[in-house]
Structure 1
Amino acid sequence: MKKIICLILISACFAILFAACDLTKPVDTTENEKSTDLTDEIDTTLTKESNKVINTMKLSDIIDKVYSESSLPADDYKYYVTNEINKDSCEYFFGKDFNYIEAVSSEPEIGYGYSFCLVRVDESKTNDIAKLIEENAKLDKWVCVSAEYKTVAVNGNVIMLCMTKEETCTALKTAFLNIK
């Protein structure tokens, strides 16, 4: 009798487990939403008239340059990690999914409400995507902490998102905009 009850309980547990871990893709609910040109496929070629150095620099090099050129102490960034942002995590970092060429984030190993992200997009769409990021990036994307301020800036085909203290955002934005 105990074996039968045990088998029934195990079977019920597996049934619940398989129902909870459904491997099907989620239903796309964006079909009914109004389409905008922000989600159109982005052409990965740069415009011919654009000759800014920032348009061809590696994003991780831009982050290093921003940190070194900012007025903030170098020790502030000693333990930050720069990682590539993949398509699956775009919404987590920027608040909304959109098409982009490449993106990176620089965040501390132990979170405390700081995020510095760069995303390279088609230069003709930088202002539209920057506005989208400004409207949707979440200051409280972390579980236990929030950033107090966010700023978004455009330089060439690169968009910067910084979320942390206002004075830090301002210093990093200034250094970012000074890259030619």
Structure 2
Amino acid sequence: MKKSAFFLALVMGLSLLAGCAGKPASSGSSGSAGSAGGASSGASSAPAGPQGTLEEIMDKVFEGIPEDEMPMLMPADMNEGSKYMPLTADNSEYNVGVPRDAYKEGIAAESAISAIAHSVCLLRADSAEAAAQLAKDVEANADPRKWVCVEAEKKIVRQSGDVVILIMTNADLADRLDANFQALAG
């Protein structure tokens, strides 16, 4: 088990170095400057939002996306046994730009290779009103260059009911994931 973990860490470290050496820093026109969607308001007439657990919602967000168009995601043995990485006090600000106590629960689908800028995070707040503020805070603070050597082409933050999604990945995939999330509003 220790050898497997060491080998995986070694491979990920080499991938990061390869990504840093092989990809120039992007121009200021991508990342948060190229954000789309923005935080939608949490008006009282807002739809209830996506139903189900965050894991079920994430599965639906990824539904219909061909496997060859998705980066390999972090495996369950690296996510505390979960399909998606739980957001904790230790990793929340890095992943979504806000402290863990700002929301009720959160998960992330991260690329297994850190040289690929891909992250999709779902956060559940206590209410739609709290989610509206959470979306604004995530929009202002989530870093599309959190990987240091690479930058997400597009950053989308959207709120539906008590759920907030943060998508940071390539532009085409970001738009399709966002459309899937918007289709869940109900």
Report the TM-score, using the length of structure 1 for normalisation.
0.65
Corresponding residue for residue 80 of structure 1: 73
The alignment status of 1:90 with 2:92, answered yes or no, reads: yes
The CA deviation at 1:90 is 1.2
Query: Deviations 1:110-136 (Å, cap 9, x if unpaired)?
Result: 121111000000222111110111111
Corresponding residue for residue 115 of structure 1: 119
**What residue identity is the alignment partner of 1:63?**
M
Matches of 1:140 and 1:169, distance apart in 2: 15
Corresponding residue for residue 6 of structure 1: none
Give the SS at the match of 2:91: helix
Query: Deviations 1:64-88 (Å, cap 9, x if unpaired)?
Result: 111114xx32333372132111122
**What residue identity is the alignment partner of 2:96?**
F
Give the SS at the match of 1:88: coil
Q: 1:177 is matched with which residue: 166, 179, 182?
A: 182
Matches of 2:49 and 2:152, distance apart in 1: 31
**What residue identity is the alignment partner of 1:168?**
L
Corresponding residue for residue 106 of structure 1: 109
**What residue identity is the alignment partner of 1:118?**
L
Corresponding residue for residue 59 of structure 1: 54
The CA deviation at 1:59 is 0.8
**What residue identity is the alignment partner of 2:73?**
Y
Corresponding residue for residue 168 of structure 1: 173
For structure 1, the 5+ residue unaligned runs are 1-48
Moved over 6 A (4+): none
Q: 2:153 is matched with which residue: 133, 148, 151?
A: 148
Report the TM-score, using the length of structure 2 for normalisation.
0.63
Give the SS at the match of 1:113: coil
Q: What is the total number of aligned residue pairs between the two structures?
A: 129
Matches of 1:67 and 1:77, distance apart in 2: 9
Larger Rg: 1
Matches of 1:173 and 1:131, distance apart in 2: 17
Contact (CA 8 Å) 1:154, 1:177: kept in 2 or not?
Answer: no
